[in-house]
Amino acid sequence: MAVKDFVGRDIISIHDFTKKDIIDVLETAKRMETLSNMKLNRNMMNAKVMASLFFEPSTRTRLSFESSMNKLGGKVIGFSDGNISSTYKGESLKDTIKMVENYSDVIVIRHPIDGSARLAAEVSNVPVINAGDGSNQHPTQTLLDLYTIKKTFDQITDLKIGLIGDLKYGRTVHSLAYALALFKAKLVFISPEELKMPKYIINDIQKANPDVEIEEKNEVESVINDLDVLYATRIQRERFVDMTEYEKVKNAFRIEKKMLKNVKSNFKLMHPLPRINEISEDIDESKYALYFEQSANGIPIRQSLLALVTGRFG
Amino acid sequence: MAVKDFVGRDIISIHDFTKKDIIDVLETAKRMETLSNMKLNRNMMNAKVMASLFFEPSTRTRLSFESSMNKLGGKVIGFSDGNISSTYKGESLKDTIKMVENYSDVIVIRHPIDGSARLAAEVSNVPVINAGDGSNQHPTQTLLDLYTIKKTFDQITDLKIGLIGDLKYGRTVHSLAYALALFKAKLVFISPEELKMPKYIINDIQKANPDVEIEEKNEVESVINDLDVLYATRIQRERFVDMTEYEKVKNAFRIEKKMLKNVKSNFKLMHPLPRINEISEDIDESKYALYFEQSANGIPIRQSLLALVTGRFG
Amino acid sequence: MAVKDFVGRDIISIHDFTKKDIIDVLETAKRMETLSNMKLNRNMMNAKVMASLFFEPSTRTRLSFESSMNKLGGKVIGFSDGNISSTYKGESLKDTIKMVENYSDVIVIRHPIDGSARLAAEVSNVPVINAGDGSNQHPTQTLLDLYTIKKTFDQITDLKIGLIGDLKYGRTVHSLAYALALFKAKLVFISPEELKMPKYIINDIQKANPDVEIEEKNEVESVINDLDVLYATRIQRERFVDMTEYEKVKNAFRIEKKMLKNVKSNFKLMHPLPRINEISEDIDESKYALYFEQSANGIPIRQSLLALVTGRFG
C-alpha cells in the first residue's frame, strides 16, 4: 500500500480517487481501528493543528472530524457557523485560506457554494479536505459508506444495493452510486417519479463501468427482499411545489418495520443521518439497522485521511 | 471510599445521590484540589474526549466544564448554542446521542426541556452529566454549592442557611434545599409572597428528613444576623405581571452592604451567578463574599465527576 | 533580555510599552520562530489554559491566538460571538472576569467598548491580553506589524513608511504610527481630506519623538516610488454621508498593480487584513505583497506574549 502517495494530497471529490486509492483508504481505516483498539494512535497527530472551517453548520460532520483529530492527539481551531464578523464575510475565500494555512497543518472546509473546496485546495499550501461543498461533493461520507459496507459484508462486489429517496438532488447518493459501480455492486435506484436519478449520472456511471447492473423502481416493496443493503436518504420538503404530493411521497418512501419481514437474513439498512422520519424508530434495535454503526465509522475514515495527508501514517 | 461505584454512572439529578454518594464526591473533589496543587492530575483525562452539548447557551457552566476537562489533559468537542443546521434541529435527541456516543467518552448536556438529560442517559452507552435541563435539575451546581459550604465551615450539619429570592421557580434552590436537609442544616426560606418555596417541595424535604428545621420569611432583616450562610438567587422580571410589583420586590430583596452590619463574624454570602443586581457590588471585596470562590469550586467538583464516571479516578 | 519582567504583565496598549519592551518582544518572537522550526516549543504551554473571550467576532485574530496557544501545547476555552445567554449578557464584565480567572491562566479579550480590556486587567488575577477594544487599541497587531518590518528590512530606523486609507478612525494606523516613530521611521500619511490623521495624534507623536519626519499627502502617486513600505487599511463605507464621495475616494485609494511600476526594488505592501478591495488581487503573487507573511507573523508574536506573561519563556 502506497500511503506515501497521499501526503500533501487534497481530498475534494470521490472522482479524484482511483479504485486503488479507495481501497488504500479503506485498508488504512481498518489499520487505524486496530491501532485505536490497541491505544497506539493517541499521539499520531501530536503538535498538528486542524482548521475546521464550517461556513455553514453541519454539526454531525464537524463533530466527527473534530473528534477524529482530538483522539489522535491533534488540536482543532475554527468556526462552526455564522459567528463571523461582517468585514470577515466580505473577505474572499482565497484570503481566508491564505490566512488559515499559516495557522494549521490541514484544513477541513464545509461551504454552501459548489466548487469552493476545490478553490480552497488550489490556493492552500496545506492539504484541504472537503466536508461538503453545496450540492456538489462530500467525499468522506462516500468513503465511510463504502467502509461500512466492506466491513459488514467483507466485500462490495456483487452486493445488490438499493438507493432510496431523493435521488435527483441528493449529493450523497450520486457519489455513492458512482463509487459502488467501481466496485461492481448491483444498483437499484428507488424514488418517486419527481426525484429520479438524473440521466446524466446514470450515463456517467455506465460509461465508467460498462458492465454495471442498474435497475430503476418507483416503489421499494417489489425489490426489498432481494437487496443486501438499502441506503435511505431524506426527501426534502423544499423540492415540492405541491405539499399534498410531498406528504404522499414522504409516507410512501418511509421504511417501516413491517416491510422488513421477508428481507435477506444479512440485510442492512443504511442512512447518512440526520434522519427526520425516513426510517421508523422501531427498526433501530433490530439487526437490520446499520446506520448508527455507519456514523461511528466516520472516525476511522476521517482519522485515516487526516493522518495520510499530513504524512503521519505509514 | 468506593469511587469504583461511579464508573459509567450518569449524573442526572441530586435525587439519585444518597448522602453517602454526595460525601464521596465532596471527598474526591478535595483530593482533586490537592492533586491540582501538586500538579499531579494533568494527564488524568489523557486521550479522553468530552462532548459538550449545549442546546441553549450557558457560558458560565460550559466554560467551567471545558476548563475542568482541559486542565486534566482531556479534549473537548461540541457546540455552545444554536449554531446548528435546520436539518439537525429536526433530528431526535436520541439520534444525536447515538452519534455523539461514538465520538466521545463522556457527554455533558444542557437542554431547555425538562427530562432531556435523563432521556439522553437512557440512550447513551457513555456516561451523561446533566448541566441543566430546563427548570428541572442542575446537579453539579448543587454539588459545588455543598462543597463550598463544607470547605468553608468544615461541616454542613447545624448551619443555619437562608435561601433568598425566587424560591418558587428557582431550580438551584430546590435541589440545594433538598441536599442541605440531608446534611441536617437548618433552613430559612426568604421570599416575596408571590415566589414562596412550593408546598410540595417542603413536604418532600420533610418526608425525607422528619427532624429538619424549616422557617419561612418574607423579609431578610429579621433573620440575617442569625444566619451562617445567605444564598441569594435572581428574581426574574418575567415572573411578574405587574412591573410596579416587580420593581418593589426586586429592591426589597437586594442585599446591601449596610444589611451586613451585625451579621455573624463567619457569615458568608453565596450566589450561583451570574448576578444582575441581587447583591450590591461593594460587598465583593468584603470577607462575607463567597460567590467568586464558590464559582471557582466548580472546577474540582466537575473534574471529580468527569474522572469518576470515566474510571480515571481511584 | 529581561523577559522575567513580562511575567504576570497585562498587554493592553502599545503606549504601555517602552522602546526597550518592544525590542524585547520582537527578539522573543525571533527566538520563538527558531524554536518552532526546531520543534522545541511544542510543550511550552503544557497544562496552561487560555480563555479566548470574543465579545464581538474577529475570526482572524481569534484563530491566530488559538493556533498560537495550541501549537505550544496549551488548551483553549472561550466564546467567539453572541453565543451568550441573555442573563449572561446582563452580567457585568467584572463578574465575567472574576469567573474566567478561575478557569484559565491567561485571558485574551476582544470587546466592542473602548477601555474594556483595561478594566478586565484591573479586575483579573491572571494576565490579560487585549485583542482589540472598540476603536481604542489592538497592541498585538502593532507588534506583529513591527516584527514583520524588522524581519524584512532587518531594521525600522530610517525606513520611509506610508500609511494609506482611513487615518482618522483606523485604530491600527494610530498605534502603528506611534510605534514607528519610536523607532525613528519616516512617516508619510496618505488619505482623503475627510479621513486625515487627527492633529492630536500627530502632536502626540511629535512630542514623544521631537525629530520625527512626518509628511501628509492626499494621493499616493507622488510619493509611492520613495517608500520602503506602504501600509494600506480599509476605508469604511459607514464613515461617509455621501455615497458618491465614498465611491470616488474608495477607488482613488485602491492600490493597483500599475502603480508599482517604479517602486523601490525592496518595496513592500502591507495590510492588516481582511481586505475588501483596497489592494488589487493581481499584486498577491508579486514580490511586493507582504500581507500574507505579515498575517503569518501573528503566530510568533502571540506565542511570545502568551509564553512571556505566563512565565513559560526565559
Are the beta carbons of C169 and C141 closer than 8 angstroms? no
What distance in Å separates the CA atoms of residue B77 and residue A234, rounded to the nearest whole number? 26
CB < 8 Å to B98, chain A: 284, 292, 295
Chain A segment 95-154 residues within 8 A of B by beta carbon are none
pLDDT at residue A89, rounded to an integer = 63
Report phi then psi at C161, rounded to 5: -120, 120
Are the beta carbons of B70 and B76 closer than 8 angstroms? yes
CB spacing of B67 vs C49 below 8 angstroms: yes
Q: Bridge-partner residues for A229, per DSSP? A: A161, A268
What distance in Å separates the CA atoms of residue C68 and residue C31, rounded to the nearest whole number? 15
pTM of the model: 0.95
Whether A260 shows a pLDDT value over 80: the answer reads yes
Closest in C51, C84, C104 to B57, CB measured: C84
pLDDT at residue A134, rounded to an integer = 86
Query: Buried (b) or exposed (e) across C265-302, using 16+ Cβ within 10 A?
Result: eebbbbbbbbbbebbeeebbeeebbbbeebbbbbbbbb
Kindly list the partner chains of chain B, i.e. chains with 3 or more CB atom pairs below 8 Å.
Answer: A, C
What is the set of domains in chain B, with CATH numbers?
3-137+298-309 (3.40.50.1370), 140-295 (3.40.50.1370)
Q: How far is B77 from chain A (nearest CA, A)?
A: 6
pLDDT at residue B1, rounded to an integer = 45
Give the gyration radius of chain A's Cα atoms: 20
Q: How far is B132 from chain A (nearest CA, A)?
A: 21
CB < 8 Å to A60, chain B: 88, 99
What distance in Å separates the CA atoms of residue B279 and residue B270, rounded to the nearest whole number? 10
CB spacing of C276 vs A91 below 8 angstroms: yes
pLDDT at residue A3, rounded to an integer = 63
Instruction: Name which of A139, A165, A172, A179 is nearest A251 in CA terms.
Output: A165
A59 close contact with B: CB closer than 8 A:
yes
Q: C93-103 and B298-309 helices cross at what angle (nearest 10)?
A: 40
Instruction: Name which of B312, B48, C49, C67 is nearest A71 in CA terms.
Output: B48
ipTM of the complex: 0.93
Closest in C49, C87, C100 to B70, CB measured: C49
What distance in Å separates the CA atoms of residue C95 and residue C89, rounded to the nearest whole number? 11
Are the beta carbons of B232 and B269 closer than 8 angstroms? yes
Q: How confident is the prediction along chain C (314 residues), in pLDDT tens digits per residue?
A: 456 789 999 999 999 999 999 999 999 999 999 999 999 999 999 999 999 999 988 999 999 999 999 999 999 999 987 556 555 667 899 999 999 999 999 999 999 899 999 999 999 999 999 999 988 899 999 999 999 999 999 999 999 999 999 999 888 899 999 999 999 999 999 999 989 999 999 999 999 999 999 999 999 999 999 999 999 998 877 777 788 888 888 887 999 999 999 999 999 999 999 998 899 999 999 999 999 999 999 999 999 999 999 999 86
Q: Dihedral angle at the C-alpha atoms of B103, B106, B112, B117, nearest 10 degrees? A: 120
Question: Rounded mean pLDDT of A8-27?
Answer: 96
Question: Rounded mean pLDDT of A116-138?
Answer: 95
CB < 8 Å to C100, chain B: 63
Q: Which residue of A has its CA nearest to B78?
A: A63
What distance in Å separates the CA atoms of residue C56 and residue C72, rounded to the nearest whole number? 25
Are the beta carbons of A187 and A214 closer than 8 angstroms? yes
Whether B254 shows a pLDDT value over 90: the answer reads yes
Instruction: Name which of C234, C243, C311 is nearest C273 in CA terms.
Output: C234
Percent of chain B's residues with pLDDT above 70: 96
B56 close contact with C: CB closer than 8 A:
yes
pLDDT at residue B249, rounded to an integer = 81
- The yes-or-no answer on residue B138 being catalytic is yes
- A243 versus A264: which is more confidently predicted? A264
pLDDT at residue C172, rounded to an integer = 87
What distance in Å separates the CA atoms of residue A50 and residue A73, rounded to the nearest whole number? 11
What is the DSSP-derived secondary structure letter of residue B314? -
Beta strands across the sheet bearing C268-270: C214-217, C186-190, C160-164, C229-232, C268-270
Closest in B85, B99, B104 to A295, CB measured: B99
Give the gyration radius of chain B's Cα atoms: 20
pLDDT at residue A241, rounded to an integer = 79
Average pLDDT for chain B: 93
Q: How far is C226 from chain B (nearest CA, A)?
A: 50
Are the beta carbons of B132 and B112 closer than 8 angstroms? no
CB spacing of C57 vs A88 below 8 angstroms: yes
CA torsion sign, B302 to B69 to C119 to B152?
positive
pLDDT at residue B204, rounded to an integer = 93
A89 close contact with B: CB closer than 8 A:
no
What distance in Å separates the CA atoms of residue A146 and residue A141, rounded to the nearest whole number? 9
Question: Rounded mean pLDDT of A10-33?
Answer: 97
State the count of interchain CB pairs (< 8 A) between B and C: 72
Report phi then psi at C26, rounded to 5: -65, -40
Q: Sorting pLDDT into bands at 50, 70 and 90, what band is B238?
A: confident
Are the beta carbons of B259 and B189 closer than 8 angstroms? no
User: Per-residue DSSP letters for B219-274?
Assistant: -STTTGGG-SEEEE----GGG-S-HHHHHHHHHHT-B-GGGGTTS-TT-EEE--S-
Q: Sorting pLDDT into bands at 50, 70 and 90, what band is A240?
A: confident
Look up residue B258 and give its three cell numbers.
449596610
pLDDT at residue C11, rounded to an integer = 98
Give the gyration radius of chain C's Cα atoms: 20
Whether A1 shows a pLDDT value over 80: the answer reads no
Q: State which amino acid sits at residue C115.
A: G
Reduced DSSP (H G I as helix, E B as strand, rest coil) percent helix, strand, coil of chain A, to 5: 45, 15, 40
Instruction: Name which of B5, B9, B41, B43 is nearest B24 in CA terms.
Output: B5
Identify the H or E element spanning C140. Answer: helix C139-153
- B248 versus A75: which is more confidently predicted? A75
Percent of chain B's residues with pLDDT above 90: 81
Q: Sorting pLDDT into bands at 50, 70 and 90, what band is B226?
A: very high
Helix runs in C193-257, H state only: 199-208, 243-252
pLDDT at residue A82, rounded to an integer = 55
Q: How far is B205 from chain C (nearest CA, A)?
A: 29
- B33 versus C82: which is more confidently predicted? B33
Q: Sorting pLDDT into bands at 50, 70 and 90, what band is B28?
A: very high
